[in-house]
Chain A
């Protein structure tokens, strides 16, 4: 079976049209079809959060969505955060300054979870930050510096 469907999707403000098999995951579409390898793939069953992107402005697992489902929708990936190549988004800057990453594998997913979180809750408590981070696994940091980075980002983004 090799049904191919046309998908037109806006990713980080740029419109792309591709022909894909319906079984292609959105995570693989972003990485292999569009070359946007900032979205990482960890568990591929929705547990680790590494592949988190924004689907119409709301955080979602790109490994639990088929690319064909994104037809006509807007996706934001980590590549869409920085305003230009010399400047980081304040959230990225905060992760840099507060050492919010070690190996960095989980970081894009965490950033894409924290953008809508901070928008909804611009003054989060530490408990709220930890709760909001619970859908993203990090195997390096022990989370403390990630929590610090999110706190710092909240300050910066005020």
Chain B
């Protein structure tokens, strides 16, 4: 298995990247960590005629704390997210979830931007971006714009990025006060693609009622799937087991749309979603109460 020939560019500044993308448009693909793109190229499922390697653009590789947000450059490695103190403190959901992404050998190379732009429905980072209300900064030669995560994912391996744009930065809001989090997934073996997974956040109001809830699923449709109706069931209520069970039933039967695969039938994926929803809601609630 060898990739088809391509023309290779390794620019060292964002400016050069944007010039090249402007010139080649859809003919060019960006090479970020390469942990999904290179396998696809080895299989020749993907045969870009031009490859723009972003690995030498050092200005895209940063994680910094700003006012109430963490700013992450699109080329920050997943391994750096995993051990970042600011991420651990201010976006504990992301800190908990990153070790579920493949193996350390993959996270050493894989990047946050690469995984987001790849928009694989089975990947963790798109789900986390949606759950965390991230904003994504795209740039082309002439302008830049911010895109909300909920408007970014446009279906299977598809995003709102235009052919001349590159994702440069991810803005992650700090977790709100009185918020509990939980990320769980079930995979055949540790590090494999999960059969089902969910990122859950619960924010309590001053009366310990659920002020807002987030339930976002991986491998549950053609992109990260948010269970908006189940979230509404929980909001404004005191969360008890009965309510948690009905939310889990609703989301697993009505709101997700898993496709099934060789490892898990659709029914089994729904079963997992039900069980993971209950577990994560309970854990998130417990953490929200502990931090109250």
Chain A residues within 8 Å of B, Cβ to Cβ: 1-3, 5, 21-23, 25, 28, 44-46, 49, 52, 55, 58-61, 63-66, 68-69, 71, 113, 116-117, 131-132, 134-135
Contacts and interface: CB of A to CB of B under 8 A. Distances in A.
Contacts of B34: 64-66, 69
Contacts of A64: 34-35, 38-39, 109
A22 B38 contact: no
Contact of A22 (B7, B106, B108): B7
A134 B100 CA distance: 12
Given A22-B51, A69-B55, A135-B191, A61 B6 contact: no
B39 to A, nearest CB: 4
B8 A3 contact: yes
B103 A134 contact: yes
A46 B37 CA distance: 11
A22 B6 contact: yes
A21 B1 contact: no
Interface in B33-51: 34-35, 38-39, 41-43, 51
Given A46-B38, A64-B38, A113 B105 contact: yes
Given A135-B103, A135-B104, A44 B5 contact: no
Contacts, number: 93
Given A44-B42, A45-B42, A46-B39, A1 B7 contact: yes
Contacts of A3: 5, 7-8
B5 A2 contact: yes
Contacts of B39: 45-46, 64
Contacts of B38: 25, 45-46, 63-66
14 contacts: A22-B5, A22-B6, A23-B3, A23-B5, A45-B1, A49-B103, A55-B108, A68-B53, A69-B34, A69-B55, A71-B10, A113-B105, A132-B104, A135-B102
Q: Lowest 4 A-B CB distances belong to which pairs?
A: A135-B103, A22-B8, A45-B39, A134-B190
Interface string B237-255: 0000000000000000000
Interface string B196-227: 00000000000000000000000000000000
Nearest to A47: B39
A103 to B, nearest CB: 21
A19 to B, nearest CB: 13
A117 B104 CA distance: 9
A44 B3 CA distance: 11
B6 A23 contact: yes
Contacts of A21: 5
Contact of B108 (A5, A58, A69): A58
Contact of A59 (B6, B102, B108, B190): B108
A74 B71 CA distance: 29
B17 to A, nearest CB: 16
